[in-house]
């Protein structure tokens, strides 16, 4: 089973699913939010709807097909409205790294925790045993989200190279996803 085989996957009123062209405008707008720009460490400095659609058809589709990258949408389950993105990357034998960002209107409602639980189930069904994450040391919100779904800090703060190429002092976390393997 692959990550793509486990999609979509819901947790309460939140669903994690493939990104679609209909998400392009909201995705691009979300990347312009100050908090996403500060803490998202996205690979590109600017996103337009056209760039997002090109990535959906290109690198995002290719990554899902070959199992090297899963750039996914977080959506409101009842309306399918785009709420943010969750990404699995740096796949290794039994683990991958996860990162996420939310639109401003999605914050403070438990959306990120629900999305992380959903993607943990998808990862477990794809054969992974652990998810890794890191966040900038000063990003209290992400740290609370990760700890709230069972991620445990591993080690002291250290320097990380973000997907943006920027060097950031961050905290690393990990979480076993094995218990999700049998909990569809």
The percent of residues above 70 in pLDDT, for the chain, comes to 98
Distance CA 87, CA 96 (A): 10
Strand ranges in the chain using DSSP code E only, listed in sequence order: 9-11, 14-18, 70-76, 82-89, 95-102, 130-136, 152-153, 158-161, 167-176
Q: Please report the domains of the chain, with CATH numbers, ordered by start residue.
A: 4-180 (3.40.630.30)
Per-residue pLDDT tens over the stretch 13-66? 999 999 999 999 999 999 999 999 888 888 888 999 999 999 999 999 999 999
- Per the DSSP assignment, residues forming a β-bridge with 132 are 97, 174
Tokens (6 digits) for 116 = 């992380």
pTM, two decimals, is 0.93
Question: For the stretch 52-74, what's the b/e string if a residue is b when 16 or more beta carbons lie within 10 angstroms of its beta carbon?
Answer: bbebbeeebbebbeeeebbbbbb
């Amino acid at each position: 089973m692959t990550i793509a085989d486990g999609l979509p996957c819901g947790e309460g009123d939140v669903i994690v699913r493939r990104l679609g062209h209909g998400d392009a405008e909201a995705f691009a707008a979300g990347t312009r939010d100050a908090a996403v720009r500060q803490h998202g460490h996205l690979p590109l400095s600017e996103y337009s709807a056209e760039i997002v659609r090109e990535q959906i058809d290109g690198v995002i589709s290719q990554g899902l097909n070959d199992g090297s990258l899963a750039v996914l949408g977080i959506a409101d389950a009842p309306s399918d409205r785009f709420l943010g993105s969750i990404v699995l990357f740096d796949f290794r034998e039994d683990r991958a790294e996860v990162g996420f960002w939310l639109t401003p209107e999605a914050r403070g409602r438990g959306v990120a925790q629900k999305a992380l639980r959903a993607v943990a189930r998808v990862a477990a069904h794809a054969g992974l045993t652990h998810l890794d994450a890191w966040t900038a040391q000063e990003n209290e919100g992400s740290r609370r989200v990760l700890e709230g779904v069972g991620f445990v800090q591993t080690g002291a703060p250290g320097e990380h190279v973000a997907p943006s190429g920027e060097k950031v002092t961050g905290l690393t976390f990990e979480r076993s996803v094995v218990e999700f393997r049998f909990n569809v």
